[in-house]
Amino acid sequence: MRDLNVLKLIAEYLKSSDKRDVELSSKLLHFKAHQNIDTDKLYQTYLEWLKDNYNFLYFTGENFQQTSTPEVCCIDLDAKYLGKSISPYNRKMLTPLTQSEQDRLEQFHQLDNAEQAHLSSFAHKVQNQDKRLWAKWRSYPVSKQVDIAQSGLGGIRWL
């Protein structure tokens, strides 16, 4: 599988009336299916997640021959943090990084994985909500960005 659109096809089975279809598609997508959730809602939730993260997904190369729970694709946190699309095949940014972006990534990489995930999600939300605030937020050092992100979306008022 080397086409992100295949994920949408697999996701169709999340809304199946056959429990086995739902379990298999959940396993393939590495998306947890909660037993008490309506399958249509599960499907919609996954599609929203896919749409939100589409430009940051890359193929890992994992498959069922390597592990019983392969993670076929993952989110590139660097790309999500910077708001830059990547190639899902080689995980390279589609546009070159500026020196400022390279410097911020160096600081970003000093954070632990949980902080990187949180900061990249927050950055993505800010970018989607207000481009002016996004531009201002990006100018801050990573340490200040972390402080703002830790206060939640209410932290946007700091900008």
3-state secondary structure 59-99: ECCCCCCCCCCCCCEEECHHHHHHCCCECCCCCCECCCCCH
Residue 96: how many CB atoms within 10 A of its CB? 9
Per-domain residue ranges for the chain?
5-74, 95-158
pLDDT digits (tens, 9 = 90+) for 105-153: 999 999 999 999 999 999 999 999 888 888 988 999 999 999 888 886 6
Q: Which of 93, 118, 96 lies closest to 108 in space, CA to CA?
A: 118
Sequence-ordered alpha helix ranges (H) in the chain: 5-11, 19-29, 39-53, 77-82, 99-108, 113-129, 131-139, 142-150
Tokens 């927050």 correspond to what residue?
122
What is the tens place of the pLDDT at every residue in 47-104?
A: 999 999 999 999 888 777 887 777 888 999 999 999 999 999 999 999 999 999 999 9
* Local confidence band at 23 (pLDDT 50, 70, 90 cut-offs): confident
Nearest in space to 123 (alpha carbons), one of 138, 112, 109: 138
